[in-house]
Chain A
Amino acid sequence: MFAWFRTDIIVEYMPLFLRGLWTTLALTAIGIFFGTILGLLLGMGKIAQAEHGPWRWPLRLFIKTPSQIYISFFRGTPLFVQILLIHFALVPLLIHPDSGLLFSGDTALYLKREHGALLSGALALSLNSAAYIAEIFRAGIQSIDRGQTEAARSLGLNYYQTMKHIVIPQAFRRMLPPLGNEAITLLKDSSLVSAIGLAELSYAARTAAGAYARYWEPYLFISLIYLIITMGMSYIVHRLERKYQSA
């Protein structure tokens, strides 16, 4: 039945597949890590407001509006376009041997040569997932009853303490399922960075397919790998949910 399936292609490119798998997992982890940090800040920034007092306008102008613009941009444009924009336009502007704004000269040369695509790919995925995670945080925070905040503030906790000890811990429980979904989405979307020559899982499949003009074997193989990982992730998220629900 599977006589047509040429396993030799998979075997030959196995090193590339394994390295690609590692890169895919690393990209996802980096994206979730930085995306969560940045997303938390953005999510809080989007709902930051002061009813009265001198902070009212600066807060709106420098924190709330930029957060909203950022989130709209990264949720409203295709990730694929963001990846190309960051890799071929933004990163060369920041890191360039002759005229880099952040790094230039030999440092830039080294960075671009050794880690160019990985830098851009990780940056794009982090920035993109930050926008989605920000929305998850915003929804989570807003879902906590106002009375909780009011009670904490009247006990004398300041805004920061209220967030840290009262609101975020409660919100986190509600945010777990969508955060898990975001992690799974990010893993799948990481396949798009193959376009900038970063050797992750789908790049390995593309290479094998390009060399032999055969499409079933490589793409079916990586589909299975992706499927195994995403199912594993679903299971972990499910377990975490049960753990925190009973607490």
Chain B
Amino acid sequence: MKNRWLLLATIPLLLISCTKKEDTSLRTQPIPSELVVGTDAAYAPFESENADKSVEGFDIDIIHAVADRAGFKIKIVNTPWEGLFSQLASGDRDILISAITINSERKKVMDFSEPYFEAVQLIALPVKSKVTKFVELKDLKVGVQTGTTGDEVISDLLGKTNPNIKRFEGTPLALQELVNGGVDAVVADNGVIDNFLANNAKTFKTVADPSFSKEHYGIAVKKGNSELLKKINDALQALKKDGTYQKIHSKYFGKK
């Protein structure tokens, strides 16, 4: 008897909790005129969080310029790299700009804009290291960020499940591990490694291996969202034409 009353008493509670849920979902409905941009802001100088929690960097300036040119509003949301692609697929994010290298594997699950940045993988090594080529990393312990191009190239060289690959949530963490002597080398994008070196001078050296192909970063949208993609591409072209792109580029990477 008692139990039955308990059950009955919980029903209104359940109902209340249900209605509560509906309320919040109504309030968090994205405003159609504002697109949500996902970025993993632990990748200076492309994107990082400054002291007052706002995201800044090369990518951020680019996407703001693109949005201004294409005439839509954006909201930047810091999203961990490991969940980035799935949030685009699920519609939580409309656009991704996060130093994402365009590759065929990723093209299967998202659409990319025209390239907006050219990058190359670098090998970061202790100052005393004798390594000169990528192939020489075969018997060494190598740190990478999970799921990045660096992760892919080292997986190809050593085998995906090789215990000598140490994967971290962020490239700065992997580089810190190198400084502390936990790994013999780190493979990552040049922009981030150079930035780390600029802030922690002489802690390690870098080697560029000619076998690494040039990569291109692209702005990603959900697969099949060609309308938005066209807007982004047109805006990118306009920015490159009128010198805005160059201005942003030299702000972060100096005159080239």
Contact = CB atoms under 8 A, between A and B. Distances in A.
Interface of A: 12-16, 19, 88, 91-92, 96-97, 108-109, 112-113, 116-117, 195-197, 199, 203, 206-207, 209-211, 213, 215
Contact of B182 (A15, A19, A113): A113
Contacts of B106: 213
| Chain A to chain B: the 10 pairs with minimum beta-carbon distance, closest first | A210-B147, A210-B146, A116-B182, A112-B181, A197-B166, A213-B85, A16-B161, A15-B161, A92-B180, A197-B168
Given A13-B160, A197-B182, 19 more contacts: A12-B161, A14-B161, A88-B173, A88-B176, A112-B180, A112-B182, A113-B182, A113-B184, A116-B182, A195-B169, A197-B168, A206-B167, A209-B82, A209-B147, A210-B146, A210-B151, A211-B160, A213-B85, A213-B147
Main SS class of interface, B:
mixed
Contacts of A88: 173, 176, 180
A170 to B, nearest CB: 38
Nearest to A113: B141
A26 to B, nearest CB: 14
Contacts of A15: 161
B82 A109 contact: no
B167 A213 contact: no
B35 to A, nearest CB: 21
24 contacts: A12-B160, A12-B161, A15-B161, A19-B161, A88-B173, A112-B182, A113-B181, A113-B183, A113-B184, A116-B181, A117-B166, A197-B143, A197-B173, A197-B174, A197-B182, A199-B163, A203-B167, A206-B82, A210-B147, A210-B151, A211-B155, A211-B160, A213-B85, A213-B147
B120 interface: no
B85 A197 contact: no
Contacts of A13: 160-161
A154 B127 CA distance: 68
B54 interface: no
B109 interface: yes
Contacts of B166: 117, 197, 199
Contacts of A97: 181
A215 B181 contact: no
B244 interface: no
Interface residues of B, number: 30
B86 interface: yes
B177 A197 contact: yes
Given A206-B146, A210-B82, A215-B86, A96 B168 contact: no
A220 to B, nearest CB: 14
Contacts of B143: 197
Contacts of B83: 215
Count chain A CB atoms within 10 A of each CB in B82, B86, B180 and give the residue with the most.
B180
A163 to B, nearest CB: 41
B229 to A, nearest CB: 19
Contact of A211 (B89, B109, B147, B176): B147
Contacts of B147: 209-211, 213
Count chain A CB atoms within 10 A of each CB in B163, B167, B173 and give the residue with the most.
B167
A12 to B, nearest CB: 7
Contacts of B82: 206, 209-210
A239 B141 CA distance: 44
Contacts of B173: 88, 195, 197
A97 B177 CA distance: 13
B160 to A, nearest CB: 7
A203 B166 CA distance: 10
A244 B134 CA distance: 60
Given A203-B167, A213-B85, A116 B180 contact: yes
Interface in B206-230: none
Nearest to B106: A213
A13 B165 CA distance: 13
Count chain B CB atoms within 10 A of each CB in A92, A116, A210 and give the residue with the most.
A210
Contacts of A211: 147, 151-152, 155, 160
A11 to B, nearest CB: 11
Count chain A CB atoms within 10 A of each CB in B89, B152, B177 and give the residue with the most.
B177
Interface in B165-203: 166-169, 173-174, 176-177, 180-184
Contacts of B181: 92, 96-97, 108-109, 112-113, 116
Contacts of A108: 181
